[in-house]
Amino acid sequence: IGAQYMQKHLPKLEPFLRRVVQEEVHNVLIRHIDSAHRLPLQLKTSSKRYKLQFQGNLPQTLFTGNRVEAENKQPLRIVLTDAVNNQLITSGPLSSMKVELLVLDGDFNADERLEHTEKEFSESIVFEREGKRPLLSGEVVIVLEKGVASVRDISFTDNSSWIRSRKFRLGARMSRASSIEERVQEAVSNPFLVKDHRGEVYKKHHPPALADDVWRLEKIGKDGVFHKKLADFGIHTVQDFLRNLVMDQYGLRGLLGSGMSNKMWESTVEHARECVLDDKLYSYCSGHGIILLFNCIHENIGVVVGSNCFSVNALTATQKVVRTSENTSFRTETSLSHEQRVDRS
């Protein structure tokens, strides 16, 4: 009965069995071919030997039309290094190749990966808006010399506010005109904002200078409420602000009012204290044989008693009591008519 059943139904099962076998063989072949294709790609990735790198970070904010420089006004450099040991490549054809500078999206490589593919880099390049000039102007192709090149004359022509991340990165890759077989990983800078040049007029200075307008301090806007309050009180410069801070901190705080929160006040004071003081010294003589010495913002830094000069920290407890009394007298003067400029030497 079994033999008769198989003989009767086998012709019907044969096409189905053939199809199943063909599909399984096909899948095995596909997996084999796929893995064979991936193997050279993996070997190519692991064989990458060189990379370009930026030396030095760019400032957090750049302005259109201004030369691109690293932090602290230092030239931005690009170096060619060995991808494995980070050694500078100073010889060979690659060490004297042309390098192309490009603008990248600020979100590229946000996770700070050590490696990226050529495709990922290319897809992150940002081009100019329609009707605008190229984003970078100047010397956008530079030449390596012994594996090093300086970015000397490039600037942005447009701000970064129109892209989603609102930030750019600077990128560098081997010039497409160079025919090289080696894969050289592209350089990627830190992200930064690019603002229109007119915004630089209102830029805060770090550190501020004594002669800077007081609105250069953090939280004090040009022609704003705090600026006007200070101006009405005769405080026009950072030096004026610091002098009032030393002489009457609570009075200065009260002048700015409740509109300036404690957090804003702390930010303004912290910024003001970054100011680098000059070397001028002033003296105040009370007529009791004691001369007080002050710096340019009226901080008491020393005392002259007879023919001896003492720093404030070197005074005894008794001398500090006398010094405090004399210092109070100085602060109650209505003018600086008793001040005398003294030589620091």
| Same domain, yes or no: 320 and 258 | no
**Within a domain: residue 243?**
yes
The list of the chain residues with pLDDT below 70 reads 2-13, 16-17, 20-21, 23, 25-48, 199-201, 287, 315-345
Domain that holds residue 169: 48-199
**Within a domain: residue 23?**
no
| Same domain, yes or no: 195 and 318 | no
**Within a domain: residue 33?**
no
| Same domain, yes or no: 227 and 312 | no
For 282-313, the pLDDT digits (tens) are: 888 876 778 889 999 999 888 888 778 888 77
Residue 94: give its domain's CATH number: 2.60.40.1930
**Within a domain: residue 26?**
no
For 93-133, the pLDDT digits (tens) are: 999 999 999 999 999 988 888 789 999 999 999 999 999 99
Q: Do the Cβ atoms of 124 and 108 come closer than 8 Å?
A: yes
